[in-house]
Amino acid sequence: MNSDRTHAVAPTELRVEGMTCNNCARKVTAALQAVPGVSTVKVSVEAGRATVRWTAGTAADAAALINALSRAGFPATVLDAEASGKSSGSAGGWKLNLWLGVICSTPLLLGEWVFRIGHESWFQWLAFALASVVQFVAGAQFYRGAWRQLKVGASSMDTLVALGSTTAYTLSVWLLFSGAGGHLFFLESSAIITLISVGHWLEANVAAQASSALKSLLDLAPAAALRLGADGREAETPVAELRAGDLIVLKPGSRVPVDGAVAEGHSAVDESMLTGESLPVDKAPGAVLFAGTANLNGRLVQRVTATGEATALARIIEAVERAQSSRANIQRLADRVSNVFVPVVVLIALATALAWGLAPAATRAAHDWLGQFLWAGHVPASPLAAALIAAAAVLIVACPCAMGLATPAAIMAGANAAARRGILIRDGIALEKAGLVTAVLLDKTGTLTLGKPALAGLWKAKAENGKQKAETLAAALARNSTHPLSQAVAKLSVESVSLEEWREVRGSGVQALLRVALPTEDDEERTEEIRLRLGSLAWLESLGVDTAAAREFVGGWSAKGASVLGFSMDRRLVAAFALMDSLKPHAAEVIRQLQRGGLKTFLVTGDNAATAASVATLAGISAENVFAGVRPEAKAELVKQLQQRGERVAFVGDGINDAPALTQADLGIAVSRASDVAREAADIVLLNSEIEAVPEALALARATLRTIRQNLFWAFFYNAAAVPLAALGFLSPVICAAAMGLSDLIVIGNALRLRRVRRRFADEIQK
């Protein structure tokens, strides 16, 4: 774990006023993300909070955050450590509005629609009293929100609700106090506020379900640990006080509080929260432990290696938060429309009022003609009442919330569904890019294959050094390299050999200097220096090593798909090792799923053509789509070539040597364990190293993109259909308020369908 994360700037917690819905949260997020130095933003409407994380090396600037929110119309204050743990009760405010509205609106509903006493004088005064409570107590949130937006020259959903309900309420007050008589609209004014409050309350609860995966992650790591003192005593210690190097005790059934390694004991650990893999992992001394995983059946002593934001769990949480708060490119259209939508709706409402007020006969004629094909609308007889009620209906029904929620709701649900499956998606843009992929380029070693080659054949020349075998020298030379082929050779011997000037030539092999003491005729020793090299035959040949003697051995094993490494002493080839890697059990099925989904599959490897062709045949990849002998730095150029052919390329690699290709690709997918979760080169990180998650991740992205498009279509269609119907008097303000809330719930509910999808993702890619 890098130390920069340990010394990262503490996040800034803000209390934000004026947020009434997730559309407001989107505006708050956009305003905060525009502040220089901000890394990620998490906004909670129900708590009325915003959490800002800063990029490494950036000083926290709370004043800049507050100024940005003020310009956006959302006053904010910084929370201290004590206050940040408490909820502001914003969700409770909607619940209060809900109960107050229901208690006051129900008698009005019964009187108007059941007992038909709406024209009784005593009932009208009762309606005035009850509606006033709703208007000025429950409606206060909407008025405050509209005023804050008005002060900065903006408008929001609160503006439409305040204008619509005030129009119906003011008209009713004027009719009541002037004695003009006729129908009063106190039910409509109170029902507007009540129904929209109900919608916001439901929206907050449904949105909370969408982020349940993140909340479950936050609850995984315990707040305290049993620290083992120098005297052997166990003491319960807050996790915040743990430091690298501390020893802690993990009892059966307990969760791992921080990252570390096993110092003592043996046990099985459930890592499903990290990898999505249900089978427990056996742990012995030296094994890595991750925060949030569960110790199942044995006592372990853990040595702490990382705490706080440096743990893998913290990085996962950060990645999910980043994905949830991000904006995809497809959202820009909705953003542009939403920014001008409210002023346009106000103009339409004014035009509606003028039409009903100044040309009532013509407008009513249009209403009656259209009613033949739709339904009978109930329009007040008075032109003034008809004008104001129709205008109020337009203001209410045209709320842009559904458009604002279309993309973030789907991204939140998609990111959480992915996190539950051990798939970390960087942001909404990554989800969008994944949904547009046309070709998948897979690295061979560690991606399609197990990445654990073993010796399959050995060729040796005449012994050049009687003291040490070629296998011993080759194993010692390979021991310091992390390359899978080198590690396979290193297992051939455990003998220690003193080597000097060891160096690894990336993509070629390793070399070192061996000093050998040789006796002379006068019984004195002289030292001979021998250059040892282990690597690809092409590299050895380029250095003047003659490999002709092993040509038959190399040809035979290469045809079988083995990788052959040569071992030379100076310019003499003394051994050749045939190493074979096994295809992952489900690799061929993964390729078939991708191909059934209409995706082109390609294989790239640094191995020779024969080995690559053998693996490709087993996996089901066409011979013309195989690229062999490609050095790590050339993989990015290969990705670029495919892109120039019009392909949108997803590169799947191990996330270690493939960073340039992962960056160059339209979508980078790192097949990696949790310790690599923060690798910045990849757009998607698969915490489970099995590639079955590749089609799953791509299919989820396609499903998310499809959901976003469905949501945007519904939001635009809803407004396109509802606004003219409301303007012509076919929708009352009460119906409009219910329809507006329903549109938000449809958008969120459609997004939540992504959470219920599990392993069906592999089939989704075919749609």
Active site residues: 443
Closest CA to 587 of 669, 689, 670: 689
> In this structure, what token pair is assigned to residue 331?
């959202």
- Our measurement of the distance from residue 218's CA atom to the centroid of its chain's CA atoms, rounded to an integer in Å, reads 15
Residue 385 to residue 379: CA distance in whole angstroms:
9
Tracing tokens 């019984």 back to the chain, one arrives at 523
Residue 241 to residue 304: CA distance in whole angstroms:
12
* CB-CB contact of 108 with 127 (8 Å): yes
Q: Helix, strand or coil for residue 667?
A: strand
CB atoms near residue 396 (< 10 Å):
34
> In this structure, what token pair is assigned to residue 90?
């914003």
CB neighbour class for 63 (10 Å; exposed up to 12, middle 13-18, buried from 19): exposed
Residue 288 to residue 295: CA distance in whole angstroms:
12
> In this structure, what token pair is assigned to residue 205?
């609860």
Closest CA to 445 of 597, 296, 603: 603
All residues at 6 or more sequence positions from 433 whose CB lies less than 8 Å from its CB, including other chains: 648, 666, 667, 683, 701
Closest CA to 23 of 159, 216, 168, 136: 159
Say how many Å lie between the first and final Cα of the chain, rounded: 41
* Strand order across the 247-250 sheet: 234-238, 224-228, 247-250, 300-306, 259-264, 288-289
> In this structure, what token pair is assigned to residue 132?
């006033």
* CB-CB contact of 290 with 436 (8 Å): no
DSSP 299: -
Go through the chain and tell me how many residues it has.
Answer: 767
| C-alpha radius of gyration, the chain, whole number | 34
CB atoms near residue 245 (< 10 Å):
9
Torsion, CA 30, CA 36, CA 38, CA 43, rounded to 10: -30
Q: Torsions phi, psi of 222, nearest 5?
A: -70, 160
Helix locations, 359-382, DSSP H: 360-371
Give the CB-side neighbour count of residue 764, counting CA atoms within 13 A. 24
CB neighbour class for 711 (10 Å; exposed up to 12, middle 13-18, buried from 19): buried
Q: Torsions phi, psi of 650, nearest 5?
A: -105, 125
Residue 733 to residue 533: CA distance in whole angstroms:
83
Residue 713 to residue 579: CA distance in whole angstroms:
55
Residue 73 to residue 148: CA distance in whole angstroms:
5
All residues at 6 or more sequence positions from 680 whose CB lies less than 8 Å from its CB, including other chains: none
Q: Torsions phi, psi of 27, nearest 5?
A: -65, -40
